[in-house]
Amino acid sequence: MESVRRPVRLKRHLVPDVGGVRLESQGRGSVTGATVFGNAVLLGAIPVEDMDMIVHSSLLTAIPKPQSPKLAVSLGVGCRTIVPNGEAR
């Protein structure tokens, strides 16, 4: 679903920016937004990182990170335990 149109500096015209795009590649997935240029789609680095993939520049494709070829792995920043009275510890 198109959410907004935003100006693009290279083409000097407005292009659709869509949200809720489900990406799937090689058994990994993510939900993100994308900017649409005709029949091409521009994705940012965050969904690629979210799927734990890297861009292989000589092949012009995204591949799973060699450190985790079978399963997407992400690093959690931290967590807190909430106790019944509402305090975090």
pLDDT tens column, 13-27: 777 778 888 888 888
Total domains in the chain come to 1
Give a yes or no: residue 8 inside a domain: yes
Nearest Cα neighbor of 23 from 39, 38, 41 is 41
Give a yes or no: residue 87 inside a domain: no
Give a yes or no: residue 88 inside a domain: no
CB 70 within 8 A of CB 52: no
Give a yes or no: residue 74 inside a domain: no
pLDDT tens across 21-80, in order? 888 888 888 888 888 777 877 778 888 888 888 888 898 888 888 888 777 776 666 667
Give a yes or no: residue 72 inside a domain: no
Confidence of residue 87 (pLDDT cuts 50, 70, 90): low
88: pLDDT strictly greater than 60: no
Query: Distance from CA of residue 37 to its chain's centroid?
Result: 18
Q: Which domain holds residue 58?
A: 2-64
Give a yes or no: residue 69 inside a domain: no
Tell me what pLDDT residue 23 has.
87
Give a yes or no: residue 21 inside a domain: yes
Give a yes or no: residue 85 inside a domain: no
